[in-house]
Amino acid sequence: MPSINTSDFRKGCKVIIDGDPYDMIECNFVKPGKGQALYKTRLRSLTKGTILDRTFKSGDSVEGADIRYGKGQYLYRDANGFTFMDNESFEQYTLPTEACEEKTTFLQENAPVELLFWNEQLIDMTPPAHVVMEITYTEPAARGNTATNVTKPATVETGAEVQVPAFINQGDKIKIDAETGKYVERVNT
């Protein structure tokens, strides 16, 4: 992979630091009164999620990361982890459970996902922003409870629990923000 010079640093730049791929989430150019210009960067590890602060001198260079995004589909979960299929090559890749378990709370089989590859190896996935799920269990609304913003717990198809408004019943379909796990709206079918 070609090296990236400090003059090409910008937010979103993918680089290799200590053998791991990093995403540049912040880059500030600093020109002190004396001496060489500096580039203060904040980097997020694409494999571990940790944040790293690094300062580079003007003229330094770093190795660029061979990162590729692709469209994919969630297939199933087994003892090895979560299995996804790349929609372009139809190859199947498995991510370990620890790497993506918190992202799969609302992930249903055959759901579309965004896949992240490094050196043609799957390292991360991004679930859809919103999902539509059926309520499998919730208590009936309390009679006369018409106050605004009254919520109750409800269990959805994947077994996850979501706080929903009191008027939602078992069997209703709702739209959920997959990142926050919050109810968005009831979906009429």
Instruction: Please report the pLDDT score of residue 103 as a whole number.
Output: 85
Instruction: Please report the pLDDT score of residue 143 as a whole number.
Output: 66
**Is the pLDDT at 102 greater than 90, yes or no?**
no
> Cβ distance 14 to 68 under 8 Å?
no
172 φ, ψ (degrees, to nearest 5):
-70, 150
Instruction: List pLDDT tens digits, range 118-160.
Output: 988 998 899 999 999 999 999 887 666 666 678 899 999 989 9
Burial class (CB in 10 A: 0-12, 13-18, 19+), 162: buried
CA distance 175 to 170: 14
Q: What is the mean pLDDT of residues 5-32?
A: 91
Q: What is the mean pLDDT of residues 48-63?
A: 91
**Quick one: CA dihedral 167, 169, 171, 175, positive or negative?**
positive
Instruction: List pLDDT tens digits, range 26-42.
Output: 999 999 888 889 999 99
- The share of the chain scoring above pLDDT 70, in percent, equals 95
Q: What is the mean pLDDT of residues 91-119?
A: 89
**Quick one: CA dihedral 108, 114, 118, 124, positive or negative?**
negative
Instruction: Please report the pLDDT score of residue 163 as a whole number.
Output: 93
Q: What is the mean pLDDT of residues 84-101?
A: 90
Instruction: Please report the pLDDT score of residue 1 as a whole number.
Output: 61
Instruction: Please report the pLDDT score of residue 47 as a whole number.
Output: 83
Average pLDDT for the chain: 89
Q: What is the mean pLDDT of residues 57-67?
A: 91
Identify the band that residue 166 occupies on the pLDDT scale cut at 50, 70 and 90: confident
User: Mind listing the domains of the chain with CATH numbers?
Assistant: 3-64 (2.30.30.30), 67-126 (2.40.50.140), 130-187 (2.40.50.140)
Instruction: Please report the pLDDT score of residue 38 as a whole number.
Output: 93
Q: What is the mean pLDDT of residues 169-185?
A: 92
If we measure between CA atoms, which residue out of 106, 27, 123 comes closest to residue 66? 123
Q: What is the mean pLDDT of residues 18-30?
A: 92
Residue with the bigger pLDDT between 168 and 99: it is: 168
